[in-house]
Amino acid sequence: MPSEERGRELISIPMTVEVPYRFAAGKYMTKFLMELRDNGKFYGIRCPVCKRVQMPPRIVCAVCHVQNTEWIELSHEGTLVGFTIMYLPLTDPTTGKPHEPPFSYGSVRLDGSDSVIDHMLNIEPDIDKIRVGMRMKAVLRPREQRVGDLSDIVYFDPISQ
């Protein structure tokens, strides 16, 4: 759109780069996404040496460099370990569309897991209404609408106590 500066037109041109792509989930991530989509379950994987449970699952434990083999079903409930209030739009990688700010976003450690999952929180974006340590529960799309990516989790709901 042209703008005038000191009587002279200056040109600027809006540009949008849109790149759809596909990534191969690999067999562990595939199992994780299939269980989420088909059975509404969260699966992590336990390292045979250090016993930590990773979710999403990795084939190799990054600490011990051994292959993870023991699948662990995790709870839908967990604890909020960190959060932020987003004032900028966050592009949703599953749709390419921005998520309208402001909204609450946080890291939840599901019970039984040693790693966290970052996702939208269904809490009013007010710093006085969110606190670390809150108990949270994952809300999934209904079975027939699940597609097998992380958008199958709609958000995390606070569990009222």
Partner 1 sequence: MPENFGDDVFEVAQRIVAHSRYYAGRMGSFFFTRLRDEKKILGVRCDKCNRVLWPPRSTCGRCFSELSEENLVEIGPEGTLEAFTLVTYCEPIHPRQAPFVYGIIRLDRADTGIVHFIGGLDFEKAKIGMRVRPVFAETRRGNILDIDHFEPL
Per CB under 8 A, the list member of 48, 49, 67, 97 interacting with partner 1 is 97
Binds partner 1 by CB under 8 A, chosen from 111, 118, 126, 149: 149
Tokens of 91: 């592009």
Burial (CB < 10 A; 0-12, 13-18, 19+), residue 115, is middle
Q: How far apart are CA 130 and CA 157, in angstroms?
A: 11
| Interaction mask 11-50, partner 1, x per CB under 8 A | xxxxxxxxxxxxxxxxx--xx-xx--------x-------
Applying CB under 8 A, does 62 fall inside the site for partner 1?
no
- Of the two residues 11 and 62, which places its CB atom closer to partner 1 in the complex? 11
Give the shortest CB-97-to-partner 1 separation in angstroms.
Answer: 8
Residues 6+ positions from 48 with CB-CB distance below 8 Å: 66, 67, 68, 69, 70
Do 52 and 68 meet the contact criterion of CB atoms below 8 Å apart?
no
Which of the stretches 76-84, 89-97, 103-111, 127-135 binds partner 1 when contact is defined by CB under 8 A?
A: 89-97
